[in-house]
Structure 1
Amino acid sequence: MSIRILLGASDVGTVAGLRTQLGELTDVELVDVERTSADVLGAINSTPGLDVVLIDQEIGGLPALDLVREITLRHPQLGLVLIVANASAEFISQAMVAGARAVVPRDPTLAELQSRIEAAAEWARSMKRHFEPGQNPAFPDRGGQLVAIAGAKGGTGTTTLAIHLASAAVTVGQTVCLVDMDLQKGDIPSFLDVTHRRSIADLIDAADELDGSILAEALYVHPDGLHVLLAPAESERADEITAKAARRILAALRSRYDVVVVDCGAFVTDGSAMAVELADRVLVTATPDLPALRAVKRHAAMWDRLGLRKPDDISVVLVRHDRKSEIQPDFARKVLGLPMLKTVVPAVFRSLEEAANTGSPKAVDNAAFRKAIGQLAVETGIVPEGLGSSVPGRRGGRGKNDRDKGAALTEFAGIFPMILFLLLMCWQVALLGLTSMFVGHAANEAARAVAVLGYDTPEARAEVRRRAEKRIPGGWEPDKHLHISVTEGYARVSLDAPAVLPNVHVPFKMQAQARIVDEGTP
């Protein structure tokens, strides 16, 4: 969610300089520029969704401090930043008393301007939550939610779940940062095919004065839109991440992203412990077996002893679930005695194998797994309720199954004419066989009729033909395509074979003959 800013300044040079600097900041939107104090007040009333108002000390109309007091009285939820030429201690004190949240020089550095604006925006959005408690925005305010995911023991799919839940949030348009707080054995680079020289260890020295530019240098931006803060490549540097540094880093990330997902791994360090303590929601992954369930209970008890998290304030996620498993969700819930999410993650080893080997989460094409991730994202609050149907996490593209179905459809369309042709040929051969059988029956009937009736008179020939035609189905149209001749003591019959198409006959005849046996001869 971008920070919406209104600028009040009458000096053209000041406006031009601030426009340029604001244009270089990410997630900052300059809504409008007003030249006088009256225009600023009018714009605030007519522009919804403002977060920060930048006011130049030399703005026309009301004196700047009087304008700040007026805005504070009318709109106490706005963050006010005052731009001054010479910021004396006395003036800064007066500005703070009037209601300004920050003071910046007329020619601030980019980092200085960004930090002041973000601090004022964070304060403004916190105030909005108090002034507008009934508000239910589609996404959380800038002080985004922090979700920590830990494993009951190694190999329970913590990293996989963290990556896919973070990707689900990105899919619905949220700004998301994925933090690898498994400081000794972090696998996120492998799962995302990431190579990045920066890590969380590079933020330790600057933890007390983090700003957007310092964070941006340490973060890796994945092509899918996910921002990633990696664990140090050297495992021995894990001890450098103190609880104090982790607290400041997570707080800075939380102020800049809608969702921060922290992969805590299965081992407790100062960094992961701080993530568990600060998180809005803590998920613990467990497989459906007794060792994993017991490990969950040990984790919960340890966090309770350390004062990090109460056992009833965690949520267990059952992963690798299968209907054939001995331990089903209801039984696991009874064994744990802890809150457990309704959604379970199915066991889809083969589908996850390709994604892990290629470093591409999009390669997971299992519909059941994607559905479970979408439901988990909604159940944990990472994705708002109404947007769960847009999850499964692959924006603007089709899954492997969809591509395979498309390829299969194309191949079938190509071979369908050949299949149809072969079927027609088979049916034509069957028609020829039937025609041969019918013409044999007709020849035998014609021979018997000639033996009894003769073939000398028109009446006898007509009766012979009538009897022969009775042995042939009407679909063969014997009245048109049957031919009879009697020569040398044989009744010879020919019949045009029908084609597959209606009312069409093939251009050759099926013939048969039968010997005429004189009925009067002993």
Structure 2
Amino acid sequence: MTQVLLISSEASTASAVAAVLSELDGFTAPVTVASLGQARLEIERQDLDLVLVDESEDHGKGLGLLRELVAMNPLLPVCFLAPRVDTELVLRAMDAGARAVLPLPPSIESYAERLRSLSAWTRQVRDQRSADSNVRVQRTGRIVAVIGAKGGVGTSMIALMAARAASGRGPTALLDFDLSSGDQASYCGLRVRHSVVDLVSVAAELGGREITEVAYPLRGGVELLPAPPAVETAEAMTETAARQILQALRYQYPQVVIDCGSAVTVTSAAALDLADEIVIVATPEVPALSSVRRLTATMDRLTIGRGTPVRMVLNRSSRHREIQAATAAKLAGLEMLAEIPDCGQRLEPTINAGTVLDLDVAPFTQAGRRIADLLLVPEETLGTPAPAPAPPPAPAPPGRRRADKPKGRRSKRTGRTGLRGRHSGEEGQASVEFAGVLVVALFLFALVLHLLFAASIAFMAQSSAQEAARQYARGASYSTAVAAASAAMPGGLQGGMHVRRSGSDTVTVTVDLPLKVPGLNSVSADATIDWEE
């Protein structure tokens, strides 16, 4: 059945529309309201198929009401009802978002065909939305941006290794966004004819076909979108185009690695802002680590990549260096993702030959895998099943020590087994922390109980003070007033109760608390004597 909402304060219009709808098959009696606020409540309360708006509503400004309804519910057809239908009114109503303009007073001939058509359109839209909701939403790809703290730290090499490692799990795009001096094409032995700058002209409506025409397939499933060979063409790349290209790549590839170079430009800023993970490459030198601090400070100041995890890869490290990995991480203020030892002599032949993709150097491969792991969807990482627990070792024969039993390293200072001492220290710390928390919790619980007990005694002291004041008002003696106050107090508290009269109009009852807490040993209550004439 088609549910209709009528917005009209005219009783004659409401009855006439209801009479016409009653003659149409598949239509229920309309729900009639007289204001936009009531219409909103009805739209939220029930599933409506059509809305009819009377032109006379809102003091003859029914078009404004119609425009607001359409803005709030663009998929709910709204019809405009007017006593005079001409070309100008139809155009104004259509501009406001009306699906039809119907005459008043209504008639079956003028309403039947149009309302049935709109009802069918509504059902079709709902069926389409229901079908879309049942379709599995395509998972968008993840982006990791690799940027160098300064020039010459190995950013392009590490980004290429990360793309190669990621390609083992699926199609991977390597985007060279160092538009002024990108070297990814040279590392891969390519002669560039098309570059990422060629996508600027179609960035607003970028699709898979345009990306394929620019991307260069590499060995292993990596597709490279190189930087332009001519530096002057890089000026064509705008921030808007860069963001549009990155979003298109996110939907085209499940994994995207971006080589941002070593400078914060319009393109690199867009990449850092849209990336899911940011990796900064540095070397164990004070200038490079200082550049890392300046880069992160610049990102914070310009609100680039706010909330995006930032990690560091330390390249060309060595145990002979003055700055080691732990010190570098502290100086940079970042989490250390990977450490790559200095192996420049092994890289030189592959760089000169343009065969970096064939490079087989374990530290670079391991660093690339760690960066590629950042491209994993968090749900996949969390959903990885834990390895099955190892079976317990068989008991050792009496008098013999098991050969496979791990021996702890004996400390030279204490003479204790390091492995055992470490675990016992952790267990002891946990026990101390638990005991401390338990003591604090018990103290707070006891304090709350004491305060509740004091509040209840204060209430009883108030009743006793009022009873004593009532006796004084009648002219009773002090002993009589004390006896009356004691009668209003439970027997267990009468021993610590004190009654005194302050001045001529106030009686104070003080009760000592059974439990003594510093600052709260007793409670008092006052009552005013209302002297009887």
TM-score normalized by structure 1?
A: 0.47
